[in-house]
Amino acid sequence: MAPKFRDGDAVVTINGKWVSNAHTLFAALAFLGALLVGLQLHYHKIVQNEYYGYPEEWFPSVSATIGDRYPERSVFQVFIAITSGPRFALVFLWYIMTARPNSTLPKIVAGTGVFRTLTCGGWTYVTSTDDHDWHDIFMISYLVATLPWTLGCLALSPANRRAVKYRKIFAGLFFGSLVPLIYYFIQHKVHKVAGAYTKYAFFEWALIFFDVGFDAITALDFEAFELVVRDVKGVSRGQLKTSADKVIEKEKDKPIGYTFGYGFSWSAAFDTAADIYNGFVFWSNLTSLGVLVWYFPLWYMGISGYEVAILCTTSPLIMAIPSVRSLAVRNAHILHFLTLVGPLAFVVQNPAYRLFAVGFSVSMGCLAWSAAFYSARAQGVRIESEIDRHAATFSRESYQAIRLDSRIASFAIGLIASSVAKFAFQTNNPIWPIMNAENGGWNKFGLFIAVLAVVRSSRRSGCVSGGEYYSPPGKKGSAILNGLGVGGVIFGMHSLLSDSSTMISWVWEGFPIRGPIQVPHGTLTIFVMSTGLIFGFQYPRLAGSWTAFSIGSLGAAVLTCYSHWFGFYGGLALAFYLMAVTPVLFSSAVHHSPASTFGVAFLVWVFMTLFHVWVVAYAFVPGGPLVRERTDWVMTVLMLCVGAGVFSAAVTNSSSLKKQVVGPSRHRQRAYYLYALGLLQLLTVAVAYLRFPTNDYVPHHKDDKVVTAGIWTVHFALDNDMWSSEQRIINLLREAELDVVGLLESDTQRIIMGNRDSTMLIAEELGMYVDYGPGPNKHTWGAALLSKFPILNSTHHLLPSPVGELAPAIHATLDMYGEMVDVVVFHSGQEEDPEDRRLQTEYLSKLMGSSPRPLILLSYLVTRPLEGNYNTYVSDLSGMKDIDFTDWDRWCEYILYKKLKRTGYARISRSTITDTELQVGKFVIGQPEGENEMRVPEEMVPEGLRFPALFRGEGVRGHQYHVFEEPRYWQ
């Protein structure tokens, strides 16, 4: 239909279908043109990757085709530049066609479309060879924006059944292809499987096809739509309904109608963000408390007295006093302000005072959130127009439910946000009080946002301030049982879900990789947590059923008893259940006194935290042997506590739910939390892409075929002044030019260590493969192996320890310059348990003696040179030699070797990082073991075999060669 204009009007008409077709044509020419030119001119070069070439790999990836070579790169850039014009026009026309009065979604989708176009230009004209980081940033931004663009276009699609059908097909194929794409990329990058990159390339090209195809469908909608002064069919005036309009009309009484049936409010979005950030601050404070408490028994080597600080979480018990309860409920916003002492604690230098500050903050946080849950009352978060409109059907209980939903969601999503923050910052929460500007902390920025969040929340009546509590009539379950359930859930969330890598560490068994790895599979943990929480809100009866409890219990059993992927699947089932049952148990808890529910809950948290510490710290606590290595008991008690809460909630919620009408206000409020969860998922995916291991690591002196190996006890990555020490460790290991290093006291995946994975952070920054060693469910203090060389195989050992603590060991085979060399990392038992150490000595000596390959032992032996067990480690049984038997001033750390040529040995002081020095040895690969070796001065040693000079004299930052003041060399 041609548009009608008054005589004399000058009109330029561009048909929308032509714009869409032009976009599709030029985009196809850009990619296919580059592919054809590349195959013709540089076939063997563009199919080559870092591991394989033709014939193992025979089809090029998109990135290799469009960015690596001239002239195919120029072909792509020229045509993609031409594509930008129709692309901007397509986005503009789509907005004009879908814009409706009082609707924000079309604007968001249009903005996303413009953003995608600009980022496409970014990764097109900034290739990976130009600037790898910025190329990745633009590429990730483009991929992340694809999700809201796709979903937004589907929601706004006009009622054209053919177009909607094809959009769903292309969108499904696009997102479905991501699964095999990631799988084959991991097979190539991590497992180095020949031919995997070719399969990855096919799925990468498929994504391009599906992406362009999805946008090409607009041609079907633009057939009767032209770029003129006005809309020729009135689509932009809402005369033609979109798919979303029809769905909302059909589902107007269902959740989807409530969610999308109202306009988007930035004010409500900021309110939601503020509440979630309050939850983030609470979880940041709580998860830091254990680290600060642990510092003191770590240095006292036993109970220090500071452990009593964990009782600060039981502050809700004082709400048993009516006047205190009323005061807390009416002044919850002041309590939330007091929790900001936690993010501010980083300015306190004294460790004890810093602990007291965080303890106070945690006590105020537990009190504030308990009061906030308890005071969930009728006035809640209201929309006045809805109050009038739904006055006939909305009861006081319903508004109380709206308010309670908001608080539970903020609390739970705060946990997810803290896990995402740790994922983004490579294991440490950036606002923890063990962080500062020097070690990567964002304390000042985090505190600033926290102040804004509390101010924003407290300005709204009833958001964090309280009043008289209204309890609807009906049956109520047991308050104590409900408290057990809430406590169990909080402990489960804290111990297993406060870091996305914790459950992965539980199921890790070494190389070759047979299960999930921290990156990228930590995203699965976060995704399952989010979906579990959504499920709990949408289907509370099912989430609170015994069927769901059975599935959660089964998941706990599988996580505890199995390894690799199967064990991780059990962990995901448990994660889903814990998040799903959270709204159920918390909704039930508000029907009782906060002292008898939340007070009891945090008492349970204290008990469970001590329980899960004592299973590994049995040698240092009274009665410890009674629970030695009984993580299965911990998991059983956890699920029994949750089961008790489910039993009580079944009575309470069955009565209260019957009295509530779940109306549009409640669903609309939930929609903003869904948006928040979606943004967190997108951020997680982007971080996973940036952190994905490159596996292209190069030794420091590869031309000389030298291996520099070291052993260091890192004291759980907490320095002498109670600061996170990973960055200081990284600096020293990099400057010492270590190719292989064993880290002891490295298991940080417990509440008392902050549920961190410090070894992954160190390995990523240094460019090394990492074996975390025996996981936290193996009840050791940790032994980890980091290597510049590929780890072909590794086996974890728990050495005989009938009395004292378990002694962990890693026996790994590394590919060093084409030769197989074994490395053993070992932590012996304590001095107080001589029989343990004797048995461990025999076990390890036989293990080393059974290896036919060259071998390096990086160890903590607890013996003096040439005395006692030393003579078993260095013996015919093991075949091992001491790197320097004349070094008499040793007690713990030793480097032993066999069938290798040693060239150097050094001891580097620790500064204030830990309580143990770094010992380093140099070996040459491919040369026979030396006979009649002699000590020689450094001047006689080739440059590539020398230790760094910067540690001579006073050294740097408190690190210098000590004991014998300089390295020792042999020839």
Q: Which residues are catalytic?
A: 827
Instruction: Rounding to the nearest 10 degrees, give the CA dihedral for residues 838, 839, 841, 843.
Output: 170
Q: Report how far Cα 284 is from the mean position of its chain's Cα atoms.
A: 14
Read off the DSSP letter of residue 617: -
Residue type, 220: L
C-alpha–C-alpha distance, residues 37 and 422, integer Å: 44
Q: What is the maximum alpha-carbon separation in the chain?
A: 109
C-alpha–C-alpha distance, residues 939 and 930, integer Å: 19
Per-position DSSP letters for 733-801, written without gaps between them = HHHTT-SEEEEES----SGGGTS--HHHHHHHHHT-EEE--S-GGG-SS-EEEEESS-EEEEEEEEE--
Q: Which residue has the tokens 């590794």?
A: 794
- Residue 515 near residue 569, CB atoms below 8 Å: no
Q: Which residue has the tokens 């879908």?
A: 98
C-alpha–C-alpha distance, residues 315 and 369, integer Å: 11
Report the SS3 class of residue 932. coil
Our CA angle for 300, 301, 304, nearest 5°, is: 45
Pairing mode, strands 819-827 and 855-860: parallel
- Residue 473 near residue 733, CB atoms below 8 Å: no
Q: For residue 962, what are its two tokens?
A: 């000590």
Alpha-carbon distance values, 256 to 148, 155, 950 (Å): 17, 12, 65
Q: What values do phi and psi take at 499, rounded to 5? A: -145, 135
Report the SS3 class of residue 418. helix
Burial class (CB in 10 A: 0-12, 13-18, 19+), 51: middle
Read off the DSSP letter of residue 153: H
Q: What values do phi and psi take at 524, rounded to 5? A: -65, -40
- Residue 259 near residue 670, CB atoms below 8 Å: yes
- Residue 621 near residue 303, CB atoms below 8 Å: yes
Q: What is the CA radius of gyration of the chain?
A: 31
Q: Which residue has the tokens 């705060």?
A: 414
Q: For residue 122, what are its two tokens?
A: 């970014």
- Residue 905 near residue 968, CB atoms below 8 Å: yes
> Which of 137, 86, 80, 133 lies closest to 113, judged by CA?
86
HSE-up (13 A, CA, CB side) for residue 594 = 25
Residue type, 827: H
- Residue 644 near residue 485, CB atoms below 8 Å: yes
**Which distant-in-sequence residues (6+ apart) come within 8 Å of 702 by Cβ?**
817
C-alpha–C-alpha distance, residues 894 and 871, integer Å: 13
Q: For residue 768, what are its two tokens?
A: 């090394």
> Which of 453, 409, 410, 412 lies closest to 431, judged by CA?
453
Pairing mode, strands 893-898 and 918-924: unpaired
Pairing mode, strands 740-744 and 706-713: parallel
Please give, one letter per residue, the 3-state secondary structure of 296-365. Answer: HHHHHCCCCCHHHHHHHHHHHHHHHCHHHHHHHHHCHHHHHHHCCHHHHHHHCCCHHHHHHHHHHHHHHH
- Residue 800 near residue 840, CB atoms below 8 Å: yes
